[in-house]
């Protein structure tokens, strides 16, 4: 009996992977040139007639799209790079946070990647999109959601473009596991480069959050609610959890020091987010990472955590408290934590309760099918003292029920629960290499705190968070198919 079938975690994983022929559905060089010239002429003429940059944005998007969709590995890397670019670029508040030409170009590329592979794999190559229960449940969720969205188009307060955007935000949870399973070889150079890219992306995002920290300070004094700089807090949390897992196994002094320094930087990025829910969720996630290790790993991890905490208290905290603006900011935000125990006094909580009440009123009007993606509900904003139409919700589960009904939300939650259960089982497997155990512990805790944080935030309408969650799902499937005997 092979090692792969000896463990029930691996034995139920199904087929290893399905290969897609490299030469399938490729155009000749001549046809590629003709198509490129035709697209250029059409969009160039459109730009001249409309006096708008949108056609040229589409042209650039089509060109970039054609360069990456021919290769599955390149598509996965492109999704990660696009995610970082969209996060760092941000939105212009003076234009009502409307997407820029740059955003539209990247959006076209991202939609093209997802659409191309879904069409090619399912319709052209006639292959299934789901080999595992989690994938099947997510595929059923999308089928149900698309049906409800088509019906909801007739709704008075429905935007077709917003519906497409919201579906595109969720698409990584379905598409990324499919691409990873088919094109990323376990233990290959591509996978190692992918891991390095994700860690580097985490470093970039953390630095960016700290760079725009001054926006948080300004908003803390001029608005009631402390401003947030972390546009992609998910990757910061994932970085913290993986570093915590690394500190459970490393014993070399240099690696320990570097890991602790990177951990300090990641916590600084988390602190700059001013997100109370994720503060608590990350601490809970760290404890989950420790619980998933064996006794020796747990002791080593706690010992290194105490070392890091001592360094912070002795060397870093006094410096921070000596900076008056930081001291005042900590006192202000600490007071907001205290108000959490008094739900009738915290304006932020009261505003959420009012929003959820108004959203629930709409939910019960279509509890089974939902209102479809792109539909908005009218809510009263207590802080601004006015009504507003909202297409998202500060409770992602109510958001899914409102958009897809209880059926759609149940399919989504069951799929996520399957991946989470798979991750917990894999983290306990003794067949995994040390590197895989380190990563899977962080991934399992990351999925858990993401699902927890979704209770008070619009997580399931945030493209960056869902792309990293999709990558986590993809890694779980890949690890479940890994054969330790081959060095994977």
Q: Look at residue 439 and tell me whether its pLDDT is greater than 50.
A: yes
Q: What residues contact 312, with CB distance under 8 A and at least 6 apart?
A: 264
Q: What does the pLDDT look like over 382-431, one tens digit per residue?
A: 878 888 899 889 999 999 999 999 999 999 999 999 999 999 999 988 88
pLDDT class for 351, splitting at 50, 70, 90? confident
Lowest mean pLDDT among 241-245, 256-260, 278-282, 443-447: 278-282
**Quick one: tokens of 252?**
């070399």
Return the top range by mean pLDDT from 107-111, 323-327, 328-332.
107-111
Q: Is the pLDDT of residue 434 over 60?
A: yes
Q: Which of 296, 203, 210, 211 is nearest to 258 (CA)?
A: 203
**pTM of the shown model:** 0.81
Is the distance from CB of 222 to CB of 267 less than 8 angstroms? no
Q: What are phi and psi of 51, to 5 degrees?
A: 55, 45
Least confident among 20-24, 142-146, 447-451, 470-474 = 20-24
> Is pLDDT above 90 for 271?
no
Q: What is the pLDDT confidence band of residue 86, given thresholds at 50, 70 and 90?
A: confident
Which contacts (CB < 8 Å, 24+ apart) does range 208-213 have?
A: 208/87, 208/88, 209/233, 209/236, 209/269, 209/272, 209/273, 210/268, 210/269, 210/272, 213/272
* 386 backbone dihedrals φ, ψ, rounded to 5°: -155, 160
Look-up: residue for tokens 């300004």? 218
Between 91-95, 102-106, 428-432, the lowest mean confidence (pLDDT) is in 91-95
**Share above pLDDT 70 across residues of the chain, in percent, rounded to a whole number:** 74
Over its C-alpha atoms, the chain yields an Rg (Å, rounded) of 23
pLDDT at 230 over 80: no
Distances in Å between the Cα of 151 and the Cα atoms of 145, 158, 266, 371, 372 are: 10, 11, 44, 8, 7
pLDDT at 441 over 90: yes
Residue 126 is predicted with a pLDDT of 85
Q: pLDDT value at position 22?
A: 44
Bridge-partner residues for 158, per DSSP? 375
**pLDDT in the model for residue 487:** 40
pLDDT band at 229 (very low <50, low <70, confident <90, very high): very low
CB of 246 closer than 8 Å to CB of 263: no
């Amino acid at each position: 009996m092979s090692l792969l079938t000896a463990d029930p975690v691996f034995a139920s994983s199904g087929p290893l992977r399905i290969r897609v022929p490299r030469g399938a559905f490729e155009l000749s060089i001549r046809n590629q040139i003709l198509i490129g010239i035709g697209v250029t002429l059409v969009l160039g003429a459109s730009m001249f007639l409309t006096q708008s940059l949108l056609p040229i944005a589409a042209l650039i998007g089509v060109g970039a799209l054609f360069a990456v969709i021919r290769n599955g590995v390149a598509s996965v890397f492109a999704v990660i790079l696009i995610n970082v670019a969209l996060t760092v670029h941000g939105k212009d508040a003076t234009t009502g946070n409307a997407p820029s030409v740059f955003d539209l170009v990247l959006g076209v590329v991202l939609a093209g990647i997802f659409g191309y592979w879904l069409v090619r794999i399912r319709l052209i190559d006639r292959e299934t999109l789901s080999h595992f229960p989690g994938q099947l449940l997510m595929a059923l969720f999308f089928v149900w959601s698309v049906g409800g969205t088509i019906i909801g188009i007739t709704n008075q307060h429905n935007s077709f473009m917003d519906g497409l955007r919201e579906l595109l935000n969720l698409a990584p949870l379905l598409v990324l596991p499919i691409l990873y399973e088919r094109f990323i070889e376990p233990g290959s150079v591509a996978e190692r480069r992918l891991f390095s890219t994700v860690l580097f992306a985490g470093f970039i995002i953390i630095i960016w959050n700290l760079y725009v920290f001054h926006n948080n300070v300004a908003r803390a004094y001029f608005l009631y609610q402390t401003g947030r700089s972390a546009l992609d807090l998910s990757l910061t949390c994932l970085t913290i959890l993986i570093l915590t897992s690394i500190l459970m196994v490393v014993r070399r002094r240099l690696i320990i020091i570097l890991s602790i320094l990177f951990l300090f930087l990641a916590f600084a990025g988390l602190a700059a987010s001013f997100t109370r829910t994720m503060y608590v969720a990350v601490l809970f996630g760290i404890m989950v990472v420790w619980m998933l290790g064996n006794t020796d790993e747990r002791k080593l991890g706690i010992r290194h955590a105490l070392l890091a905490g001592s360094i912070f208290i002795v060397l870093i905290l006094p410096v921070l408290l000596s900076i008056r603006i930081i001291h005042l900011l900590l006192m202000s935000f600490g007071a907001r934590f205290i108000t959490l125990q008094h739900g009738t006094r915290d304006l932020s909580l009261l505003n959420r309760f009012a929003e959820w009440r108004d959203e629930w009123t709409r939910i019960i009007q279509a509890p089974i099918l939902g209102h479809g993606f792109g539909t908005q509900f009218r809510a009263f904003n207590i802080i601004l003292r006015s009504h507003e139409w909202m297409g998202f919700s500060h409770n992602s589960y109510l958001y899914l029920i409102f958009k897809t009904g209880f059926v759609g939300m149940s399919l989504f939650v069951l799929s996520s629960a399957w991946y989470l259960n798979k991750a917990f089982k894999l983290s306990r497997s003794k067949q995994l290499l040390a590197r895989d155990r380190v990563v899977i512990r962080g991934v399992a805790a990351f999925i858990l705190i993401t699902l927890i944080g979704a209770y008070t935030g619009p997580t399931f309408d945030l493209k960056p968070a869902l792309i990293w969650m999709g990558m986590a799902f993809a890694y779980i499937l890949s690890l479940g198919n890994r054969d330790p005997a081959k060095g994977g």
